[in-house]
Amino acid sequence: MRVEVEVDGGVVKDAWISGSLFRGLEAIIKNRAPQDAFFISQRICGVCPVSHGHASSMSAEAAMGVQIPEGARLVRNILEGAQYLHSHILWFYTLAALDYVDPVKALQANIADTYALAHAAGTRVADFGAIAKRLSAFVERGQLSIFANGWFGHPEYPADMPAELHLIGVAHYLEALEMQAEAATIIAVMGGKFPHFMSSINGGTSWVPTEEKLDDVKFRLAKVNAFVREAMIPDTLAIAPFYLDALKFGGGGGNFLSFGVFDDPSFEIDNRYMPPGFSEGASLGLDTVDIDNVKEYTEHAWYSSPSGLNPKVGETVPAFTEYNTDDKYSWGKAVRYKDLPAEVGPLARMVVAYVKGDEAVQDLIDSTLAKLGAAGKPEVLVSLLGRVAARNLETAHTATLTEQFLNDLIAAVKAGPLELFTPHDITDGEGYGMWEAPRGALAHYMTVKNRKVDRYNVVTPSTWTCAPRDAAGRRGPMEEALIGTPVADIERPLNVVRVARSFDP
């Protein structure tokens, strides 16, 4: 992905996002067995393969008229939940944290004060003295490895954020490396490996839960969830007050879309644990989602295929011309809902769930807003800080849901015997799977003819987020969110990176 911004008077005035990769996965899946799509299409993304795999299997199952059994529903929900935990922890600590936490500043921390601050913030303690000592050896040696050329000491790190808080952040950054691996291990136990898992085969799951394996999953999930509750959430609340300026920019167009995720026993899209919906503009009203409202525009993308098609009938014919922001400048199509750009991802899901009246989500958001001095003003969430906070709050929510799915599965195994797979024949048909990856709304469409895939199409979260301009010249969500971002140092536009990264593109 390439971000181009126009800065005037220290503020972003215009922005263009260019998708830099064309792989043409749809063409690769065409003419293959419908079950093969699960294995191939999940490889679109090495961070959210579980969601792609699930959306693909759902599209095939819809096309064949197959209903997966209850046991498989629970297994798939747990796999999906574990991937959300993996993805969000990886994003917040490994990818984003050092945009907000400066390891060089952490060196000035007083160790006793660090413990006191950790206690006051209700966050986990670590051996802060040892970490500080080793951190200084690390920095002095100058072998910065993956930290090389980081923008530490940048003026956009808040001057008043105590060194002690920076040190806490670094300590949890290190612990998070361990925790993301633990979350991924849950997927491996239930799906063979991660990334790219094996078990959500069309018709259900190939994984048979045994007492021993369920114990293993339970232990690992408890460990990850404890980290989320004892470190990730308190860290967010402790760091956020130093970034209140980030409530004033990075918001974007204010249209939010979620397809919903985590099926309940009815398999009805409207009954999903994380609900679907489309919220347009400041009204915070809510529409049910309809796949027919999705259209892809190619005016500014390197395709010669017709513009404005629904993905069910969409075509992908690559035709590179040149990079020209007035004309075509991206491999990403401009996907629109009701012809409007829409933000997808954790903030969109939290807004939709909030407006829909999900009590757990309302409690999480209201209490957080109160702690940030913005009680009763959920609209401030439409900002850079709001987007970061929403992802972290969703992590806590997902932790609770995943525990519930696991407990349900354990109860179902005890009540046994558990159905895990629905045998079926391959027949001709058409289907789609609408789902949510950690990064946002996701849809796979499949048409089967003569027992082979005749048409396949995928609309990924990045297609929504990193969309270029559409036929009407409207910016995509990330382009829009960058407008108004303050830039103190044009050589090192840290805030621009923060806004772009907040979408987890």
Partner 1 sequence: MANEDHDALRSQLEFHGVSRRDFLKFCGSVAAILGMSESMIPQIAAAVEKGARLKPTLWLHGGICTGCTVAIAQVDTPDIATIVLDILSLKNMTINMASGDDLERIVADTLEDAENDIGFILIYEGSIMRGQGGNALREFGEPQIDRLKKKAEAAEAIVAVGSCAVDGGFVAAKPNPADAIGMKQFLDEAGIDTPLINLPTCPVNPEWIVATVINVLILGRLPEMDSFNRPSLIFGHPIHDLCPRRGHFENAQFVYEFGSKEEELGYCLYPVGCKGPQTFTNCPIVRWNRRASWCVESGAPCIGCGITSPKAGGNWVDVNAPFLKRHRDLKIGDMRIQPSTAGVIVGAAAAAALVAHGLGMKAAGRMDGEGAPYEEMKECDRKKGGGK
Using CB under 8 A as the binding rule, whether residue 94 contacts partner 1 is answered as yes
Pick the closer one to partner 1 by CB: 14 or 287.
14
Site string for partner 1, 58-87 (x = CB under 8 A): -------------xx---------------
Interface positions, 464-503, toward partner 1 (CB under 8 A): 491-492, 497
Tell which residue, 223, 267, 270, has the closest CA to residue 124.
Answer: 223
Interface positions, 312-331, toward partner 1 (CB under 8 A): 318-320, 323, 331
Using CB under 8 A as the binding rule, whether residue 207 contacts partner 1 is answered as yes
For the CB of residue 297, give the shortest distance to partner 1 in the complex, in Å.
20
For the CB of residue 377, give the shortest distance to partner 1 in the complex, in Å.
32
Task: Pick from 58, 90, 233, 409 the residue near partner 1 by CB under 8 A.
Answer: 90
What is the enclosing helix (H) or strand (E) of 234?
helix 233-239
Task: Pick from 81, 162, 169, 204 the residue near partner 1 by CB under 8 A.
Answer: 204
Using CB under 8 A as the binding rule, whether residue 149 contacts partner 1 is answered as yes
Using CB under 8 A as the binding rule, whether residue 23 contacts partner 1 is answered as yes
Interface positions, 29-48, toward partner 1 (CB under 8 A): 32-33, 35-36, 39-40, 43-47
Max Cα separation, the chain?
Answer: 71
Tell which residue, 372, 221, 231, 343, has the closest CA to residue 279.
Answer: 343
Using CB under 8 A as the binding rule, whether residue 194 contacts partner 1 is answered as yes
For the CB of residue 184, give the shortest distance to partner 1 in the complex, in Å.
5
Using CB under 8 A as the binding rule, whether residue 179 contacts partner 1 is answered as no
DSSP 299: T
Cα–Cα–Cα angle for 49, 53, 55, rounded to 5 degrees: 120
Using CB under 8 A as the binding rule, whether residue 306 contacts partner 1 is answered as no
Strand-pair category, 2-8 with 256-258: unpaired
For the CB of residue 85, give the shortest distance to partner 1 in the complex, in Å.
14
Site string for partner 1, 97-116 (x = CB under 8 A): -x------------------
What is the enclosing helix (H) or strand (E) of 453?
strand 452-459
What is the enclosing helix (H) or strand (E) of 74?
helix 70-89
Task: Pick from 77, 114, 123, 199 the residue near partner 1 by CB under 8 A.
Answer: 199
The letter for the amino acid at 422 is T
Tell which residue, 82, 81, 80, 53, has the closest CA to residue 182.
Answer: 82
